[in-house]
Amino acid sequence: MEWMDGGSITTPEGFLAAGVACGIKASGRKDLALIVSELPCVAAATFTTNKVKAAHIVVCRENLRPQKATVRAIVVNSGNANCCTGKQGVEDARQMCEWTARELSAQRHLNIQPHEVLVASTGVIGVPLPMDKVKQGITMAVAHLSRQGGKEAAEAIMTTDTKPKFAAVRLELFGKVMHIGGIAKGAGMIAPNMATMLCFIGTDACIGRKALQSALRYAVERSFNSITVDGDTSTNDTVVLMANWMAGGSEIAEDSDAFLRFREALTALCQRLAKMIAADGEGATKLVEICVTGAESERDAKAVALTVANSLLVKTALFGNDPNWGRIAAAVGRAPARVKSETLAIRLGEFECFRRGEPVTFDEVAAHEWLKASREITLHIDLGIGAASWTVWTCDLSTEYVRFNAEYTT
């Protein structure tokens, strides 16, 4: 497996993309992205577990039903989440698929049905989509589709992200070169909007629907489901993975060696995109990796890591470059997991602070200087109970985060 410099969703064979500005964002920035595969794809997806779901999720679920089989395109708008918009919202999402299919058929002579188009939205909640603008955007995006359009599309799905997020890998299986490439957007808002995590991934590998879904679940669990910015789960979170088989070669059968290698590459890609999201959290000054070891189960390890990652007291201490390990101990103690103070050990980078229930003397000034100098830091938490581990990525919590999210804009 090898990273492709500057790679994105359009790195795998047969994928085209575009990102255009159609006026949904008042700022005039790009706000509509389109991804199209030249050949039909099998697709897999994961969606938010939030019980309040955006309209696009209803429509994606319909269009991903097995009997509808293939997917050809994804249309995404930013600047409006199309969530809590009632029945009209679902109709609007369906309309986006129809317009996209119609334009692709008209402009590109691709015979695409509306149910072969997936749709996603991100932005403000509770406001109806400006459908006239969306319609113009779709027409423009179809006209702009290109093999170089991946980064543009990554820009067009941004809300408060400070930079676009894209990456791609290549790997060889069965003597054939194949690629996995993706774009993502992070937890951000265009005030007063809801944070959303979106990711769209394409691959030219030959892999069936069931294996694809299994690989995606595994990868998402260890990447997007292991990052947090502020603990607020979005109503719109969506990850879609499309495979168009253009690399040729044998089919990657589930649980084969080739499958494990494909899954590993997919997981690495998702982790890279996920870490970009955490590092670009609103107002973040640091990417924080939280490694929990010695847990009774992976579930326990993840619960501890996420509780520490979402602790306001831990996050504000890190923003202040304060090696305040007591706050970490307190967060570990309230995690829904098996934890014992007597076996607990805590390390900030190389600074050991706590071991088996007793404080360890360390150079606090040096630890402060190390925190101050580091854009990426690791917290090690050993529960000293079992053999399971998990890693989670987050960012610090700054005054800028609060200022940003408190801004009045309605």
Burial class of 232 by CB neighbour count within 10 A (0 to 12, 13 to 18, 19+): middle
For residue 12, give the nearest of 235, 363, 247, 346 by alpha carbon: 247
| Closer residue to a second copy in complex, CB, 126/249 | 126
| Residues annotated as part of the active site | 196
Q: How many CB atoms lie within 10 A of CB 370?
A: 17
Instruction: Please list, in sequence order, all residues whose beta carbon lies within 8 angstroms of the beta carbon of residue 45, skipping any fewer than 6 positions away.
Output: 60, 64, 118, 216, 238, 239, 240, 241
| Closer residue to a second copy in complex, CB, 100/236 | 236
Whole-angstrom CA distances from 312 to 34, 188, 319 are 37, 18, 10
Q: Supply the minimum distance, in Å, between the C-beta of residue 34 and a second copy.
A: 26
SS3 66: helix
Q: How far apart are CA 80 and CA 87, in angstroms?
A: 16
256: which DSSP letter?
Answer: S
Q: Supply the minimum distance, in Å, between the C-beta of residue 136 and a second copy.
A: 24
| Closer residue to a second copy in complex, CB, 69/191 | 191
Q: Supply the minimum distance, in Å, between the C-beta of residue 225 and a second copy.
A: 13
Q: Supply the minimum distance, in Å, between the C-beta of residue 317 and a second copy.
A: 7
SS3 209: helix
Q: How far apart are CA 214 and CA 9, in angstroms?
A: 20
SS3 262: helix
6: which DSSP letter?
Answer: T
| Closer residue to a second copy in complex, CB, 223/398 | 398
Beta-carbon-side half-sphere exposure of residue 88 (alpha carbons within 13 Å): 9
| Closer residue to a second copy in complex, CB, 316/374 | 316
Q: How many CB atoms lie within 10 A of CB 378?
A: 16
Whole-angstrom CA distances from 187 to 193, 228, 281 are 10, 8, 6
Outline where DSSP puts E strands in 244-359. Answer: 287-295, 345-348, 351-355, 358-359
Q: Supply the minimum distance, in Å, between the C-beta of residue 159 and a second copy.
A: 13
| Closer residue to a second copy in complex, CB, 5/358 | 358
Q: Supply the minimum distance, in Å, between the C-beta of residue 44 and a second copy.
A: 23
For residue 109, give the nearest of 145, 156, 69, 153 by alpha carbon: 145
Q: Supply the minimum distance, in Å, between the C-beta of residue 365 and a second copy.
A: 8
Element (H, E) at 269: helix 257-279
SS3 101: helix
| Closer residue to a second copy in complex, CB, 147/334 | 334
Q: Supply the minimum distance, in Å, between the C-beta of residue 276 and a second copy.
A: 21
| Closer residue to a second copy in complex, CB, 114/192 | 192
